[in-house]
Amino acid sequence: MAQGAAEPAAHKAGFTPPAEREIPAGPMGDVIRQGEQIFLHTAANAKGFVGNSLNCVNCHLDAGRRPDSAPLWGAYVSYPAYRSKTREVDTFASRLRGCFMYSMNGKAPPEGGPVLVALESYAYWLAKGAPTGEKLPGAGYPKVPKPPQAPDIERGRAVFAAKCALCHGVDGQGQRAGDTQVFPPLWGARSFNWGAGMAGVDKAAGFIKANMPFSKGNTLTDQEAWDVAQFMDAQERPQDPRFDGNIASTRKKFHDSEYSLYGQTVNGKLLGQGTPVARR
Ligand code: HEC
Ligand code: HEC
Protein backbone atom coordinates (compact mmCIF):
# COMPACT_ATOMS: atom_id res chain seq x y z
CA MET A 1 0.00 0.00 0.00
CA ALA A 2 1.25 3.51 -0.81
CA GLN A 3 2.57 5.60 2.09
CA GLY A 4 -0.19 7.63 3.67
CA ALA A 5 -2.92 5.71 1.87
CA ALA A 6 -3.60 3.43 4.84
CA GLU A 7 -7.21 2.87 5.79
CA PRO A 8 -8.41 4.84 8.81
CA ALA A 9 -7.78 2.71 11.90
CA ALA A 10 -11.47 2.39 12.69
CA HIS A 11 -12.03 0.42 9.50
CA LYS A 12 -9.62 -2.26 10.58
CA ALA A 13 -11.40 -3.22 13.79
CA GLY A 14 -12.84 -6.70 13.78
CA PHE A 15 -14.89 -6.05 16.87
CA THR A 16 -17.11 -3.27 18.20
CA PRO A 17 -17.38 -2.90 21.97
CA PRO A 18 -20.77 -2.01 23.49
CA ALA A 19 -21.74 1.65 23.74
CA GLU A 20 -21.22 3.39 27.06
CA ARG A 21 -24.98 3.82 27.60
CA GLU A 22 -25.27 0.02 27.64
CA ILE A 23 -23.38 -0.24 30.94
CA PRO A 24 -25.90 -2.11 33.13
CA ALA A 25 -27.54 -0.62 36.21
CA GLY A 26 -26.75 -2.06 39.64
CA PRO A 27 -23.56 -3.01 41.46
CA MET A 28 -21.83 -4.54 38.44
CA GLY A 29 -22.50 -1.42 36.38
CA ASP A 30 -21.17 0.75 39.19
CA VAL A 31 -17.87 -1.12 39.23
CA ILE A 32 -17.61 -1.03 35.41
CA ARG A 33 -18.10 2.76 35.54
CA GLN A 34 -15.50 3.03 38.29
CA GLY A 35 -13.06 1.16 36.03
CA GLU A 36 -13.76 3.57 33.21
CA GLN A 37 -13.10 6.54 35.52
CA ILE A 38 -9.79 5.01 36.65
CA PHE A 39 -8.85 4.59 33.01
CA LEU A 40 -9.67 8.22 32.19
CA HIS A 41 -8.46 9.98 35.36
CA THR A 42 -5.99 7.55 36.77
CA ALA A 43 -4.21 9.40 39.57
CA ALA A 44 -7.45 10.80 40.99
CA ASN A 45 -9.19 7.41 41.04
CA ALA A 46 -6.31 5.05 41.76
CA LYS A 47 -4.71 7.06 44.55
CA GLY A 48 -1.28 5.95 45.62
CA PHE A 49 -0.60 3.83 42.55
CA VAL A 50 0.39 6.50 40.02
CA GLY A 51 3.78 8.19 39.92
CA ASN A 52 3.46 10.52 36.93
CA SER A 53 0.91 12.76 35.24
CA LEU A 54 -0.28 10.28 32.62
CA ASN A 55 -3.65 8.56 32.39
CA CYS A 56 -4.25 5.12 30.91
CA VAL A 57 -6.30 6.73 28.13
CA ASN A 58 -3.27 8.72 26.89
CA CYS A 59 -1.87 5.56 25.28
CA HIS A 60 -5.08 3.51 24.94
CA LEU A 61 -7.28 6.05 23.18
CA ASP A 62 -11.04 6.57 23.30
CA ALA A 63 -11.31 5.16 26.81
CA GLY A 64 -9.59 1.94 25.72
CA ARG A 65 -11.83 1.40 22.71
CA ARG A 66 -9.71 2.57 19.77
CA PRO A 67 -8.34 -0.18 17.50
CA ASP A 68 -4.55 -0.04 17.03
CA SER A 69 -4.02 1.61 20.42
CA ALA A 70 -3.98 -1.64 22.41
CA PRO A 71 -7.74 -1.49 23.13
CA LEU A 72 -8.97 -3.16 26.31
CA TRP A 73 -11.38 -5.44 24.42
CA GLY A 74 -8.48 -6.85 22.41
CA ALA A 75 -6.34 -7.26 25.49
CA TYR A 76 -8.95 -8.87 27.72
CA VAL A 77 -9.35 -11.92 25.47
CA SER A 78 -5.57 -12.32 24.92
CA TYR A 79 -4.63 -13.45 28.43
CA PRO A 80 -3.30 -15.57 30.08
CA ALA A 81 -0.28 -15.41 27.75
CA TYR A 82 3.44 -16.06 27.91
CA ARG A 83 5.44 -12.79 27.80
CA SER A 84 9.14 -12.53 27.17
CA LYS A 85 9.25 -9.40 29.39
CA THR A 86 8.35 -11.32 32.54
CA ARG A 87 9.42 -14.74 31.25
CA GLU A 88 6.22 -16.30 32.54
CA VAL A 89 2.55 -16.74 31.75
CA ASP A 90 0.85 -13.50 32.79
CA THR A 91 -2.80 -13.10 33.64
CA PHE A 92 -4.78 -10.07 32.52
CA ALA A 93 -4.54 -8.70 36.07
CA SER A 94 -0.77 -8.96 36.10
CA ARG A 95 -0.68 -7.20 32.72
CA LEU A 96 -2.65 -4.31 34.26
CA ARG A 97 -0.20 -4.22 37.17
CA GLY A 98 2.67 -3.91 34.70
CA CYS A 99 1.25 -0.73 33.16
CA PHE A 100 1.04 0.80 36.65
CA MET A 101 4.69 0.02 37.43
CA TYR A 102 6.17 1.18 34.14
CA SER A 103 3.82 3.28 32.00
CA MET A 104 2.41 5.07 35.06
CA ASN A 105 5.76 4.98 36.91
CA GLY A 106 3.82 3.95 40.00
CA LYS A 107 3.05 0.96 42.18
CA ALA A 108 1.13 -2.18 41.22
CA PRO A 109 -2.30 -2.27 42.88
CA PRO A 110 -2.91 -5.53 44.79
CA GLU A 111 -4.62 -8.47 43.06
CA GLY A 112 -8.28 -8.60 44.08
CA GLY A 113 -8.20 -4.99 45.36
CA PRO A 114 -10.77 -2.41 44.24
CA VAL A 115 -8.59 -0.76 41.55
CA LEU A 116 -7.79 -3.95 39.66
CA VAL A 117 -11.30 -5.36 40.10
CA ALA A 118 -12.77 -2.17 38.59
CA LEU A 119 -10.35 -2.16 35.64
CA GLU A 120 -10.88 -5.88 35.02
CA SER A 121 -14.66 -5.37 35.12
CA TYR A 122 -14.50 -2.50 32.64
CA ALA A 123 -12.29 -4.49 30.23
CA TYR A 124 -14.48 -7.60 30.60
CA TRP A 125 -17.55 -5.55 29.75
CA LEU A 126 -15.88 -3.88 26.74
CA ALA A 127 -14.97 -7.35 25.42
CA LYS A 128 -18.56 -8.59 25.58
CA GLY A 129 -19.04 -11.15 22.81
CA ALA A 130 -15.40 -11.11 21.63
CA PRO A 131 -13.90 -14.53 20.89
CA THR A 132 -11.03 -15.63 23.15
CA GLY A 133 -7.74 -17.10 22.07
CA GLU A 134 -7.25 -15.31 18.76
CA LYS A 135 -5.74 -11.93 18.05
CA LEU A 136 -8.58 -9.67 16.93
CA PRO A 137 -7.86 -7.17 14.14
CA GLY A 138 -7.00 -3.86 15.80
CA ALA A 139 -5.79 -5.49 19.05
CA GLY A 140 -2.42 -4.32 20.38
CA TYR A 141 -0.37 -1.72 18.56
CA PRO A 142 0.33 -2.28 14.87
CA LYS A 143 3.77 -3.44 13.78
CA VAL A 144 5.25 -0.86 11.44
CA PRO A 145 7.48 -2.38 8.75
CA LYS A 146 11.18 -1.62 9.17
CA PRO A 147 11.91 1.66 7.38
CA PRO A 148 14.17 1.97 4.34
CA GLN A 149 16.83 3.79 6.42
CA ALA A 150 17.83 2.94 10.00
CA PRO A 151 15.85 5.10 12.48
CA ASP A 152 17.67 8.36 13.05
CA ILE A 153 17.49 10.72 16.02
CA GLU A 154 18.29 13.87 14.06
CA ARG A 155 15.65 13.23 11.42
CA GLY A 156 13.29 12.39 14.29
CA ARG A 157 14.05 15.71 15.96
CA ALA A 158 12.89 17.49 12.80
CA VAL A 159 9.67 15.46 12.66
CA PHE A 160 9.07 16.25 16.33
CA ALA A 161 9.54 20.00 15.80
CA ALA A 162 7.26 20.04 12.78
CA LYS A 163 4.48 17.68 13.89
CA CYS A 164 4.52 17.07 17.63
CA ALA A 165 5.90 20.05 19.55
CA LEU A 166 2.73 22.07 18.96
CA CYS A 167 0.93 19.92 21.53
CA HIS A 168 3.67 18.07 23.43
CA GLY A 169 5.86 21.19 23.85
CA VAL A 170 9.26 21.96 22.35
CA ASP A 171 10.85 20.13 25.29
CA GLY A 172 8.46 17.14 25.21
CA GLN A 173 7.02 18.00 28.62
CA GLY A 174 3.47 18.34 27.35
CA GLN A 175 1.29 21.25 28.36
CA ARG A 176 -0.29 22.02 31.69
CA ALA A 177 -2.95 24.41 32.88
CA GLY A 178 -2.43 24.69 36.62
CA ASP A 179 -2.49 21.15 37.96
CA THR A 180 -4.15 19.72 34.88
CA GLN A 181 -2.05 18.06 32.23
CA VAL A 182 -3.67 19.21 28.97
CA PHE A 183 -1.24 17.41 26.65
CA PRO A 184 0.74 14.50 28.07
CA PRO A 185 4.55 14.56 28.47
CA LEU A 186 6.61 12.27 26.23
CA TRP A 187 9.71 12.22 28.44
CA GLY A 188 11.12 13.71 31.63
CA ALA A 189 9.99 13.63 35.26
CA ARG A 190 6.24 13.33 34.58
CA SER A 191 6.32 10.69 31.85
CA PHE A 192 6.54 6.89 31.55
CA ASN A 193 9.72 5.26 32.88
CA TRP A 194 12.50 3.35 31.13
CA GLY A 195 10.77 0.03 31.75
CA ALA A 196 7.58 0.98 29.86
CA GLY A 197 6.52 -0.59 26.58
CA MET A 198 6.50 2.87 25.01
CA ALA A 199 10.25 3.16 25.73
CA GLY A 200 10.74 0.45 23.09
CA VAL A 201 11.20 2.12 19.71
CA ASP A 202 9.22 -0.56 17.83
CA LYS A 203 6.18 -0.21 20.12
CA ALA A 204 6.41 3.58 20.07
CA ALA A 205 6.63 3.62 16.27
CA GLY A 206 3.47 1.47 16.08
CA PHE A 207 1.51 3.69 18.45
CA ILE A 208 2.69 6.89 16.79
CA LYS A 209 2.10 5.70 13.23
CA ALA A 210 -1.50 4.70 13.98
CA ASN A 211 -2.45 7.49 16.38
CA MET A 212 -0.27 10.61 16.11
CA PRO A 213 -0.40 13.49 15.40
CA PHE A 214 -3.61 13.29 17.43
CA SER A 215 -6.66 12.84 15.15
CA LYS A 216 -4.32 12.49 12.15
CA GLY A 217 -3.29 8.86 12.60
CA ASN A 218 -1.66 7.12 9.63
CA THR A 219 -0.46 10.35 8.04
CA LEU A 220 3.25 9.91 8.92
CA THR A 221 5.37 7.74 6.65
CA ASP A 222 6.82 4.60 8.22
CA GLN A 223 10.22 6.31 8.15
CA GLU A 224 8.90 9.37 10.00
CA ALA A 225 7.19 7.20 12.63
CA TRP A 226 10.40 5.24 13.33
CA ASP A 227 12.59 8.37 13.31
CA VAL A 228 10.40 10.31 15.74
CA ALA A 229 10.03 7.23 17.97
CA GLN A 230 13.83 6.89 18.04
CA PHE A 231 14.13 10.57 18.96
CA MET A 232 11.49 10.33 21.72
CA ASP A 233 13.02 7.17 23.18
CA ALA A 234 16.49 8.75 23.22
CA GLN A 235 15.36 11.23 25.91
CA GLU A 236 15.90 10.81 29.63
CA ARG A 237 12.96 9.67 31.80
CA PRO A 238 12.44 8.11 35.26
CA GLN A 239 14.60 5.08 36.07
CA ASP A 240 13.44 1.54 35.35
CA PRO A 241 12.15 0.21 38.70
CA ARG A 242 14.11 -3.01 38.01
CA PHE A 243 17.37 -0.99 38.06
CA ASP A 244 20.06 -3.05 39.82
CA GLY A 245 22.38 -0.11 40.52
CA ASN A 246 24.33 -0.49 37.31
CA ILE A 247 23.16 0.76 33.92
CA ALA A 248 25.18 -1.72 31.86
CA SER A 249 23.96 -4.78 33.73
CA THR A 250 20.39 -3.48 33.85
CA ARG A 251 20.57 -3.10 30.09
CA LYS A 252 21.87 -6.63 29.77
CA LYS A 253 19.08 -8.05 31.91
CA PHE A 254 16.10 -6.06 30.67
CA HIS A 255 16.97 -3.96 27.63
CA ASP A 256 19.12 -6.18 25.49
CA SER A 257 17.29 -5.21 22.31
CA GLU A 258 17.96 -3.14 19.23
CA TYR A 259 14.79 -1.23 20.12
CA SER A 260 15.99 0.04 23.49
CA LEU A 261 18.27 3.05 23.89
CA TYR A 262 18.69 2.37 27.61
CA GLY A 263 22.40 2.14 28.37
CA GLN A 264 23.38 3.47 24.95
CA THR A 265 25.48 6.59 24.53
CA VAL A 266 23.83 9.26 22.39
CA ASN A 267 25.56 12.54 21.52
CA GLY A 268 28.09 11.83 24.23
CA LYS A 269 25.47 11.19 26.90
CA LEU A 270 24.84 7.84 28.57
CA LEU A 271 21.10 7.14 28.62
CA GLY A 272 19.36 5.32 31.46
CA GLN A 273 20.52 7.54 34.32
CA GLY A 274 16.91 8.38 35.14
CA THR A 275 15.33 11.72 36.00
CA PRO A 276 13.85 12.82 39.29
CA VAL A 277 10.14 12.06 39.50
CA ALA A 278 7.27 14.56 39.55
CA ARG A 279 3.96 13.13 40.47
CA ARG A 280 1.29 15.42 39.09
C1 HEC B 1 2.83 5.64 28.16
C2 HEC B 1 1.82 4.87 27.51
C3 HEC B 1 0.94 3.94 28.32
C4 HEC B 1 0.17 4.24 29.42
C5 HEC B 1 0.05 5.56 30.12
C6 HEC B 1 -0.51 3.02 29.76
N7 HEC B 1 -0.18 2.03 28.91
FE8 HEC B 1 -0.97 0.17 28.85
N9 HEC B 1 0.31 -0.33 27.35
C10 HEC B 1 1.22 0.51 26.77
C11 HEC B 1 2.05 -0.23 25.83
C12 HEC B 1 3.16 0.33 24.99
C13 HEC B 1 1.57 -1.56 25.86
C14 HEC B 1 2.11 -2.74 25.06
C15 HEC B 1 1.28 -2.94 23.83
C16 HEC B 1 1.80 -4.05 22.98
O17 HEC B 1 2.62 -4.83 23.46
O18 HEC B 1 1.37 -4.13 21.82
C19 HEC B 1 0.48 -1.58 26.81
C20 HEC B 1 -0.28 -2.70 27.10
C21 HEC B 1 -1.38 -2.70 27.94
C22 HEC B 1 -2.27 -3.81 28.08
C23 HEC B 1 -2.18 -5.12 27.30
C24 HEC B 1 -2.61 -4.86 25.89
C25 HEC B 1 -2.58 -6.06 24.99
O26 HEC B 1 -3.21 -5.98 23.91
O27 HEC B 1 -1.94 -7.06 25.34
C28 HEC B 1 -3.22 -3.45 28.99
C29 HEC B 1 -4.40 -4.27 29.46
C30 HEC B 1 -2.89 -2.12 29.44
N31 HEC B 1 -1.78 -1.69 28.76
C32 HEC B 1 -3.60 -1.40 30.39
C33 HEC B 1 -3.22 -0.15 30.85
C34 HEC B 1 -3.82 0.51 31.99
C35 HEC B 1 -4.95 -0.05 32.82
C36 HEC B 1 -3.18 1.68 32.14
C37 HEC B 1 -3.38 2.72 33.22
C38 HEC B 1 -3.25 2.23 34.59
C39 HEC B 1 -2.20 1.78 31.07
N40 HEC B 1 -2.24 0.65 30.34
C41 HEC B 1 -1.38 2.88 30.86
C42 HEC B 1 1.34 1.86 27.00
C43 HEC B 1 0.72 2.54 28.02
C1 HEC C 1 -2.95 18.08 18.20
C2 HEC C 1 -2.16 17.76 19.37
C3 HEC C 1 -1.14 16.63 19.24
C4 HEC C 1 -0.13 16.49 18.32
C5 HEC C 1 0.21 17.42 17.18
C6 HEC C 1 0.56 15.27 18.68
N7 HEC C 1 0.00 14.70 19.79
FE8 HEC C 1 0.65 13.04 20.78
N9 HEC C 1 -0.93 13.16 22.02
C10 HEC C 1 -1.89 14.15 22.01
C11 HEC C 1 -2.91 13.84 22.97
C12 HEC C 1 -4.13 14.68 23.29
C13 HEC C 1 -2.54 12.62 23.55
C14 HEC C 1 -3.34 11.83 24.60
C15 HEC C 1 -4.51 11.16 23.92
C16 HEC C 1 -5.68 10.91 24.83
O17 HEC C 1 -5.54 10.99 26.06
O18 HEC C 1 -6.76 10.63 24.29
C19 HEC C 1 -1.28 12.22 22.94
C20 HEC C 1 -0.56 11.09 23.30
C21 HEC C 1 0.70 10.78 22.82
C22 HEC C 1 1.55 9.72 23.32
C23 HEC C 1 1.23 8.77 24.46
C24 HEC C 1 1.20 9.47 25.80
C25 HEC C 1 2.54 9.97 26.28
O26 HEC C 1 2.59 11.11 26.78
O27 HEC C 1 3.56 9.27 26.17
C28 HEC C 1 2.69 9.73 22.57
C29 HEC C 1 3.87 8.82 22.70
C30 HEC C 1 2.54 10.79 21.58
N31 HEC C 1 1.34 11.42 21.78
C32 HEC C 1 3.48 11.10 20.63
C33 HEC C 1 3.30 12.08 19.64
C34 HEC C 1 4.20 12.30 18.55
C35 HEC C 1 5.51 11.56 18.34
C36 HEC C 1 3.67 13.30 17.79
C37 HEC C 1 4.19 13.85 16.50
C38 HEC C 1 4.34 12.92 15.40
C39 HEC C 1 2.44 13.72 18.43
N40 HEC C 1 2.24 12.94 19.55
C41 HEC C 1 1.65 14.76 17.99
C42 HEC C 1 -1.88 15.28 21.23
C43 HEC C 1 -1.04 15.50 20.16
Q: How far is the CA of 60 from the centre of ligand 1 (A)?
A: 7
168 lines ligand 2 (CB under 6 A): yes
Listed residue (89, 60, 86) closest to 75, CA to CA: 60
95 vs 83: CA distance, rounded Å: 10
In this predicted model, what pLDDT tens digit does every residue of 138-180 receive, in sequence order?
Answer: 999 999 999 999 999 999 999 999 999 999 999 999 999 998 8
Q: Which of 167, 173, 230, 237 to mutate to test the pocket of ligand 2 (most atoms within 8 A of CB)?
A: 167
Closest ligand 1 atom to 104 CA: 5
- Nearest ligand to the CA of 226 is 2
Atom 9, ligand 2: which residue's CA is nearest? 214
Q: How far is the CA of 246 from the centre of ligand 2 (A)?
A: 32
The pLDDT of residue 10 is: 44
The pLDDT of residue 12 is: 61
In this predicted model, what pLDDT tens digit does every residue of 215-271 receive, in sequence order?
Answer: 999 999 999 999 999 999 999 999 999 999 999 999 999 999 999 999 999 999 999
Q: Does 255 or 2 have the greater pLDDT score?
A: 255
Q: How many CA atoms lie within 13 A of 122 on its CB side?
A: 25
The pLDDT of residue 5 is: 38
- Nearest ligand to the CA of 166 is 2
Q: How far is the CA of 67 from the centre of ligand 1 (A)?
A: 13
> Which CATH code fits 153-270?
1.10.760.10
Same fold, 19-126 and 153-270: yes
Structural domain spans, the chain: 19-126, 153-270
The pLDDT of residue 9 is: 45
Q: Does 274 or 14 have the greater pLDDT score?
A: 274
222 vs 178: CA distance, rounded Å: 36
In this predicted model, what pLDDT tens digit does every residue of 27-77 receive, in sequence order?
Answer: 999 999 999 999 999 999 999 999 999 999 999 999 999 999 999 999 999
Q: How many CA atoms lie within 13 A of 2 on its CB side?
A: 2
65 lines ligand 2 (CB under 6 A): no
Q: How far is the CA of 101 from the centre of ligand 2 (A)?
A: 21
- Nearest ligand to the CA of 63 is 2
CATH class of 19-126: mainly alpha
On the 0-12 / 13-18 / 19+ scale of CB atoms within 10 A, 176 is middle
